[in-house]
Amino acid sequence: MTSYHCPVDGTRSAITALTWCCPVCRGPWDLDFTPARGVAANALAGRADSLWRYKEFLPLDTSAISLGEGRTPLVPLTDTVSAKLDFLMPTLSFKDRGAVMLGELARRLGPDRVVADSSGNAGTSFAAYCARAGLPCTVYVPEGTSAKKTEQIRAHGARLVTVPGGREATARAARAAADEPGVFYASHVFNPYFLHGTKTYAYELWEDLGGRLPEALAVPVGNGTLLLGVALAVAELDALGLITARPRLIAVQAEAVSPLAAAFRAGADDLLPVGAGDLLRDGEGEADGLLPDGGTVAGGDVGAGGVPGTGGGGGAGAGGVRGAGGNAAGGAGGVEPATLAEGIAIPRPPRARQILAAVRESGGTFLTVPEDGIREAQRDLAARGLFVETTGVACWAAVRAGGDAVRGEVVVPLCGSGLKTGMAASA
């Protein structure tokens, strides 16, 4: 029977339990699941035009609450770069891929209520799917979340709780509620069912490209839920003999909040530890250690990962994109550093070890983008007919700048609709 397991200490839990994290180390769960063999890309014709066409590869093979999510278009941007339009999902972001999976699991388990935390897009997805499932839902968001996103959450009937502080404070508030009896914590970070939903992004590319994947996949990374889903799909497709080459993973962070890029550059397996001196205080009460080049990285403990692999990363962006490193999470005055890419502004991602391992195993790298690069990328996409929110343009900002890291055929996800944030104001 499918069950949760902790990649750190091996603790196991039944799926039917509402235990949202490992009770020993408090880290995120992974899932015992192996997809079925014998399904090729040409066997999918005639199936439902949604992510549920990949049922043999999913831990849940049907959903009573589906909104037709998945199967988003792939359109060319240049001769070598294509964009997958995940902002055309039912709630206008890629988070629907994972939210429908967690929403269906919650529907089957029948909790008293569902709790989620989000910088906006995951919250709107969970609110929509819980409404469809008839489940009471409470969504915690940080202060400063886009008003258009909070309006969408309320529109679906969810209770909205705005938490003073940043993303980490919001997560702590939701996790405190998640420990109450009868609560299902729809965590897109701690619950692996979400990753098994986001992995369909790569399965769709595999099908659309005739049974192969591109040379590189650029992915925006905050908590890493899309990147880890993609890495999971690549590993599964490889194990099933359905691809002959694995793509490089290009992880993209905002320069203003880039703790993973800093750790990658330093050759670390996890977020960099707190430095012995020259400490700053961030808005979450954690000390940030200064890097030798003057950048900062958030301190604090994170859960360990379970994506195996070794191998070199490397490569740096050019033309306005910094290679791995740059300014990571931190800041002073009681607030997390501001970035237009609010959806990936995560100072301490719990799956940091898994993210770093997945990028290295792929032979990929991290790139960081400045705020002006995000503004320019959003305007450029709008001029091409694509209205995308500021977080969703981060990968295009990195890739359009060029450099060796983005050589060959590359696909970028356009993750959220511009209707959620509007156009970024000029600096």
The answer to whether residue 425 scores a pLDDT higher than 50 is: yes
pLDDT at residue 327 in the model: 41
For residue 165 the two structure tokens come to: 């502080």
pLDDT tens digits along 388-417: 999 999 999 999 987 888 999 999 999 999
The answer to whether residue 10 scores a pLDDT higher than 50 is: yes
What residues contact residue 302 under an 8 Å CB cut-off, 6+ apart? 270, 271, 348, 349, 350, 351, 352, 353
Distance, in Å, from the CA atom of 230 to the CA atom of 239, rounded to the nearest integer, reads: 14
Average pLDDT of the chain, as a whole number: 87
The answer to whether residue 339 scores a pLDDT higher than 70 is: yes
For residue 312 the two structure tokens come to: 């070199």
Give the single-character DSSP code of 51: G
pLDDT at residue 281 in the model: 27
CB 84 within 8 A of CB 413: yes
pLDDT tens digits along 45-85: 889 999 999 999 999 999 999 999 999 999 999 999 999 99
**Looking at the chain, how many residues does it have?**
427
Angle between helices 147-155 and 121-133 (to 10 degrees): 10
Q: Are strands 365-369 and 248-254 parallel, antiparallel or unpaired?
A: parallel
pLDDT tens digits along 150-159: 999 999 999 9
Distance, in Å, from the CA atom of 101 to the CA atom of 117, rounded to the nearest integer, reads: 16
Could you tell me which residues are beta bridge partners of residue 296? 290
pLDDT at residue 56 in the model: 95
Q: What percent of the chain has pLDDT over 90?
A: 78
Distance, in Å, from the CA atom of 246 to the CA atom of 121, rounded to the nearest integer, reads: 29
Q: Write 289-297 long-range contacts (CB < 8 A, 24+).
A: 291/262, 291/266, 291/325, 291/328, 293/325, 295/258, 295/262, 295/325, 295/326, 295/327, 295/328, 296/262, 296/327, 296/328, 296/329, 296/330, 297/259, 297/262, 297/263, 297/271, 297/272, 297/328, 297/329, 297/330
pLDDT, mean of residues 211-228: 98
pLDDT at residue 1 in the model: 55
pLDDT, mean of residues 162-170: 91
